[in-house]
Amino acid sequence: MGARSIYLGAKYTRSMASDPDRRITSLDAVPADTTYLFTVRDDEGERREAVLVRTDDGVAGWLNYCRHLLDVRLDKGSGAPMRDGELVCANHGAYFEADTGYCTFGPCDGATLESVGVAVDDGDVYLADENYAFVGSGPIDDDAGPSNTSNVEF
């Protein structure tokens, strides 16, 4: 049986799912009970944090910001809390479904996390969203400066 690909989220292209510059991590590195934090850059060059989270049928990607207070990070650097397959915002206890991003409980009940398209190919997770470029694993590194986002290779 060949390698299985799973495409999740909007606005992906198939070629993104095997682009080494868009490889986030291995699927095995995404924990079952918390989130995997990474950084992306949007169309305007602004860095944003995002998380990978396990779902019943693979992995999903979400921007790492609560829908109640939009500057509050769900994963503050050591993994977001999860309860029964839902992400929990530690600030005021909002619950978000891992697979849909939908807030089922809390002050932003009914809102939805912002999706980041990801794809799994041959055991690796790729950023498969034309709205974002992959910057690196972990939180936004404010000391890295703009050179961290350069595609120039020497």
Q: Indicate which single residue of 92, 105, 109, 130 sits in contact with ligand FES (rule: CB under 6 A).
A: 92
Distance in angstroms (rounded) separating the CA atoms of residues 74 and 63: 9
Contact 126, 6 (CB under 8 A): no
What gap in Å lies between CA 12 and CA 118, rounded to an integer? 8
**One residue of 68, 136, 139, 148 binding ligand FES per CB under 6 A:** 68
Instruction: Check residue 82 for interaction with ligand FES (CB under 6 A).
Output: no
Can residue 69 be called a binding residue for ligand FES (CB under 6 A)?
yes
DSSP three-state, residue 99: coil
Lookup result for tokens 């120039």 = 152
Q: Quick check: 66 binds ligand FES (CB under 6 A)?
A: yes
- Minimum CB separation of residue 39 from ligand FES in Å reads 20
Using rule CB under 6 A, residue 114 touches ligand FES: no
Cβ atoms of 72 and 54 within 8 Å: the answer is no
Q: Which residues bind ligand FES (CB under 6 A)?
A: 66, 68-69, 72, 89, 91-92, 94, 106-107
